[in-house]
Structure 1
Amino acid sequence: MRSEFRTTEAGSTMGPVTEQRPAEPLTEHVHRLTRRLRAFDRRHPLLWDAHFTGFWVLAALVDYYGGGWRTTAHDLDVPGGLLLALSLGFSVPLLGRRSHPRAVLLVMAPVAFVNAWSGAALQASLLQLVVLYHVALRLPLRTLWWAAPLLTAPVVVSAVRYGEGTWHQQVGSHLTSILVAALIGVTVRTRRSYTDALEDRARRLEIERDQQVLLAAAAERARIAREMHDIIGHNLSVITGLADGGRYAAAKSPQRAAQALDAIGTTSRQALSELRRLLDVLREEEKEEAALTPQPGLTDLDRLLAGVRDAGLPVRTTVHGRPALPPGRQLTVYRVVQEALTNTLKHAGPGATSEIDLSYGEGGAVTVTITDTGPGWPAPDSSDGRGLPGMRERTALYGGTLEAGPRPHPERGWRVCLHLPEEAPQ
């Protein structure tokens, strides 16, 4: 319930206006109560069975001691001890109706035959229908093929022995009761199976959703780690080369040392800018703004190569064809070239040179070959383990191939070859 004050146009304040929440429908209360009862039954099944059985035992005893059985009996001279035994024989076995319905039905069968033969015709015999309901609910349906005749036989015995009324009244009505009890059991069983199937499906969908979330998180972590490696690893390698060169030049050529320091500052600011852009993607509130920041492409290769050259690695570039690649493929080419040059800076040693050959084909196809003249990179196991796997992951996104390894003897150095095929037609 929520109260608020309304103000008229003249400015006077009216009394509180109460907003009533819509009342829950009656079915919601019924469902809530049913769920609570089922939960209690699952926690205390024996207690529930004892209360249920005790109620019907009491009802059977009231029928016996109150003389209500005389209104339906065929023979009023049935001994009292037999009537008491029959009343208890129909009601007490109900305690096991859910755990052992078949056994309870078989226990009640001789009691039902004695009840029919003696002419007592106790109404407690109808409790067999409760057991039949649990047979249809819990046991294989083929059990009904012998359970139904077992319940019908005593009625036939009573009709033949006493012959009161017509067969339609005695046997027909009893068969109808058996059919209704069996159908109710089958209906409830079908409904429970359907509900269980829905709950199982919901549970599996929830597990699958959680797994998808974990996979997406793992993929995002791998993507971020790859970007961090490409950004920080390359720029730090360039900065290291510039710092080494500046240290050697400081004693002989202070002007060259100052140029190296300027280049270090430029590279550091560029790395910091790219790192901030990457971190902005991780912030929910800045996701839209971060999405507008362009990723590196082919137009940024010149700046990349200039930084590498400033770090002391001579690079020669050869281009065949006209570049016409979508942004995703441009980023892949850029990152592969960046990683290959970074590894050359880290492992090729002084005096190494590098050569890049780019060949653009039709439909977004491109082949990039990066070679250097160093002694060769170390085995992948001796590196940080992210460079080559990152390049292969980017290549696999577009169905391409990546080859990386030492150049064939007698040539020295390392060779990286990237090939992206034509884009598949949409």
Structure 2
Amino acid sequence: MTEETPHPLPATTGPSRYAQRLLARVRAFDTRHPWVWDATVTLTWTVAALVDAAGGWRTTAVDPSVPVWLVVTLSLALSVPLYWRRRHPTAVLAVMACAALVGDASGAFLQSAYLQMVPVFHIALSRPPRALLWALALLLPPLVTGAVRFPPGAVDQRVVPALWAYALAALLGIAVRSRRDERAHEVRLAATAERARIAREMHDIIGHNLAVITGLADGGRYAAAKNPERAAQALEAIGTTSRQALAELRRLLSVLHEEGDEGDRSDGPAARTPQPALTDLERLITGVRKAGLPVRAELSPTAPALSAGAQLTVYRVLQEALTNTLKHAGPGATASVRLSYGPGALEMVVTDTGTRSTAPGRGHGITGMRERAARYDGTLETGPLPTGGWRVALRIPLEDPTS
């Protein structure tokens, strides 16, 4: 059974797309100016801590007689260090834990002590897992001290809820980190696949056109002494082939530019040039003939139900097969191309009459052809013929128009 090739998810549209763009812009701004967000978060929690220090802290305090100046000082020590939470979360937690230790030992039991959840989250997000053990070592002394000094109900009302809060903050950091690592892994896989795709395209475009140019140049060199007109025709064909190769490379690079930067898309001719399709097979064969390789072609005129990607696969396979013939078949070789439509499938067979000392395409050529065919549930068979020469057979299922 052929393994189904995964298809990319459709692009999001509507409000979700705008939300993603807005979030991306916020992240980009934060990357460029991290101090803005750090200062905003710190100022927000500092104001909240000072509001609590103005009198609300007594609702949870065991000893409401704690001096106000001490409560204000501890509130600042539990909030101001948040400015450095992303760069030095462990150090920030250590400072805050010292303030929490004084607060619990005095009986103030400040609610701002729960702000220690913030550096705990960042430790789980950006530090090795063992750093959470150091965080636990910093969090426990204040809780144990408060429970020992003021034992009635301290464990159930103070220690257990605080530990649950810190555990949830750590789990949230771990979850966000796992998701971030997963997305980074997906990006690396996508980049690897994209590099492989670009390598195949560059191999097909450059390899084929250089082979054609080499054939034209060799023919023109031999014709220059006897038939200057033929030599001029060869030079003209070299120029045409070179321009076609440059146009294909520009199209490929412009597509990559569009995929990498939606906000700055090129509107030039290269960006609008369509990819090669079945209608371009005759042009491909004509170019190979001009390079000096006789090609006999039988192309069925029936219009197939093939996607643009599948048609590009047929084009590239034929291109690679004829390029291998040009490079490896030797002088006097001829090629034959037969493209037909069987029961529910496109079938293309490319053969040549050349003699080879080694099999063609030991690099990326045949591998790339097989990968292209497999992407559309197709098959590719290659091998020598009993009578000499080489055979490439491609079969791609046609799409069911009723599905």
TM-score tier after normalising by the smaller chain length: 0.5 to 0.7
Pick from 78, 81, 98: which aligns with 1:36?
81
1:270 aligns with 2:244: yes
1:353 aligns with 2:330: no
1:316 aligns with 2:296: yes
**Aligned residues: CA RMSD:** 3.4
Q: Which has the higher contact order (CA 8 A, sep 6+)?
A: 2
**Counterpart amino acid of 2:140?**
R
Tell me the SS of whatever aligns to 2:179: helix
Shift of 1:395: 1.0
Tell me the SS of whatever aligns to 1:210: helix
Distance in 2 (CA, whole Å) between partners of 1:48 and 1:395 is: 66
Aligned 8 A contact 2:334 2:352 in 1: yes
Pick from 140, 148, 154: which aligns with 1:128?
148
Compared with structure 1, are the counterparts of its residues 330 and 96 closer, same or farther at alpha carbon in structure 2 (3 Å cutoff)? closer
Shift of 1:188: 2.2
1:105-254 to structure 2, matched below 5 A, reads: 128=148, 130=150, 177-178=152-153, 181-254=155-228
Unaligned runs of 5+ residues in structure 1 are 1-22, 57-94, 105-125, 133-176
Tell me the SS of whatever aligns to 1:286: coil
Compared with structure 1, are the counterparts of its residues 415 and 29 closer, same or farther at alpha carbon in structure 2 (3 Å cutoff)? farther
* Map of 1:328 onto structure 2: 309
* Map of 2:10 onto structure 1: none
1:336-347 to structure 2, matched below 5 A, reads: 336-347=317-328
Pick from 390, 402, 406: which aligns with 2:380?
402
Distance in 2 (CA, whole Å) between partners of 1:97 and 1:398 is: 57
Aligned 8 A contact 2:285 2:295 in 1: yes
Shift of 1:55: 4.9
Tell me the SS of whatever aligns to 2:225: helix
Shift of 1:323: 2.8
1:286 aligns with 2:286: no
Compared with structure 1, are the counterparts of its residues 288 and 257 closer, same or farther at alpha carbon in structure 2 (3 Å cutoff)? closer
Shift of 1:98: 3.1
* Map of 2:369 onto structure 1: 391
Compared with structure 1, are the counterparts of its residues 29 and 359 closer, same or farther at alpha carbon in structure 2 (3 Å cutoff)? farther
CA radius of gyration, larger in: 1
* Map of 1:300 onto structure 2: 280
* Map of 1:376 onto structure 2: 356
Compared with structure 1, are the counterparts of its residues 350 and 35 closer, same or farther at alpha carbon in structure 2 (3 Å cutoff)? farther
Shift of 1:405: 1.8
Deviation by residue 1:84-133 (Cα, 9 ceiling, x = unmatched): xxxxxxxxxxx99936999x9xxxxxxxxxxxxxxxxxxxxx95365x6x
* Map of 2:140 onto structure 1: 98
Shift of 1:215: 1.6
Distance in 2 (CA, whole Å) between partners of 1:189 and 1:51 is: 18
**Counterpart amino acid of 1:43?**
A
Percentage identity across aligned positions? 51
Unaligned runs of 5+ residues in structure 2 are 1-39, 50-75, 83-88, 108-136
Aligned 8 A contact 1:321 1:361 in 2: no
**Counterpart amino acid of 2:234?**
A
Aligned 8 A contact 1:318 1:357 in 2: yes
Distance in 1 (CA, whole Å) between partners of 2:207 and 2:342 is: 30
Pick from 365, 377, 396: which aligns with 1:420?
396
Compared with structure 1, are the counterparts of its residues 301 and 273 closer, same or farther at alpha carbon in structure 2 (3 Å cutoff)? same
Give the paired residue count. 293
Aligned 8 A contact 2:382 2:390 in 1: yes
Aligned 8 A contact 1:277 1:293 in 2: yes
Comparing 229-238 with 369-378, greater Cα deviation is found at: 369-378
Compared with structure 1, are the counterparts of its residues 377 and 333 closer, same or farther at alpha carbon in structure 2 (3 Å cutoff)? farther
Shift of 1:247: 1.0
Aligned 8 A contact 1:344 1:377 in 2: no
* Map of 2:25 onto structure 1: none
Q: With structure 2 as the length reference, what TM-score do the two structures score?
A: 0.63
Compared with structure 1, are the counterparts of its residues 97 and 296 closer, same or farther at alpha carbon in structure 2 (3 Å cutoff)? closer
Aligned 8 A contact 1:348 1:377 in 2: no
Tell me the SS of whatever aligns to 2:347: strand
Deviation by residue 1:71-94 (Cα, 9 ceiling, x = unmatched): xxxxxxxxxxxxxxxxxxxxxxxx
